[in-house]
A and B are shown apart, each in its own frame.
Chain A
Amino acid sequence: MPARLRDIPLSTFAWVTVVVLGGAIALIFFYAPLDADQGLTQKIFYLHVPIALTSYACFGWGAWKALTHLRTRAPGADLESYAAIHQGVIFGAFTLVTGSIWARASWGIWWTWSSNQLVTFLVLFLFYSAYFMLRYSVEPGPARANMCAVYALFGVVLIPISWLSIRLANDFIHPTVFTRHGPQMSGSMFFAFCVSWAGLLLLAATMYRVELAGKRLDARLRELRELLA
């Protein structure tokens, strides 16, 4: 058995992702019961919430790699932090779009500024979107890697704020499914949710590994071009 996840071949990783995501779709539409209150529109929950949690995980992973870079100057940690944040932004965009569609279906509006959860997530998304502006406005090198790492670490503070915002404030419009008493849904719904989250985490991990492999190959080719020039 591979000691680490990165030791698993990328193709195996991708196929497991396809199988788990396919299983999740089947569970969502053929196994999980219809919600008594929201009906069919509640099916968006199985996509929107796991995507948001995956986005948090990507940002958290990016911050962890940034910390690794600052602590140990490990080669490649800066690139790994960048790739993780890129995935976080992609999944963050999906969160905002699917959330907006769900809001329109449930509340009749695309967006509301009165919901702390929505606004704090948008702030988190914009903060990490600005990471790329910083990265591409500085010449590549140790200084850029350090600046980006510090920026990525600052952003991670926004994750618990975003998560706790509806629990700390009286946010009546955005539902709170996970309370201190556990998930407020049936066992079959929770199972479908967990499989969906696992599938989306695998998708993010596959995309992260593909992007990282591309970036590393790009860097190696640049090095080779300089040697041959």
Chain B
Amino acid sequence: MSSSEKYVAAAYLVVFVGVLAWVAIIASKLARLQREVAELVELARSRHERDAA
């Protein structure tokens, strides 16, 4: 691999890895939001059961 090829590959790889890192961050955020939704559903359900009793 020539030095030009290495530099071109590095430039494109940096952007690709950067976007991939962004996707990973968004995925972890989505997981947190899913957990929060599950907690809120649980809270609403327990409140509903308490009111019904």
**Chain A residues at the B interface, C-beta cutoff of 8 Å:** 39-41, 43-44, 47-48, 51, 90, 93-94, 97-98, 101-102, 104-105, 203, 207, 210-211, 214, 217-218, 221, 224-225, 228
Contacts A105-B3, A211-B26, A228-B47 hold; do A47 and B15 have CB atoms under 8 A apart? yes
17 A-B pairs within 8 Å (CB atoms) are namely: A41-B8, A44-B8, A90-B18, A90-B22, A94-B14, A94-B18, A97-B14, A98-B14, A98-B15, A104-B7, A105-B3, A211-B26, A214-B30, A221-B33, A221-B40, A224-B40, A228-B47
**Chain B residues at the A interface, C-beta cutoff of 8 Å:** 2-5, 7-8, 10-12, 14-15, 18-19, 22, 26, 29-30, 33, 36-37, 40, 43-44, 47
Q: Is the CB of B7 within 8 A of A44?
A: yes
Give the docked Cα–Cα distance between A101 and B37 (Å): 43
Which A residues touch B12, using CB under 8 A? 47
Beyond known contacts A40-B8, A97-B11: 9 more, CB 8 A cutoff: A40-B2, A40-B5, A43-B8, A48-B11, A94-B14, A94-B15, A101-B7, A101-B10, A104-B7
A91 CB to nearest B CB, Å: 9
Q: Would you list the 9 A-B pairs with minimal beta carbon distance, nearest first?
A: A105-B7, A40-B4, A101-B11, A44-B11, A98-B11, A41-B4, A43-B8, A228-B43, A97-B14
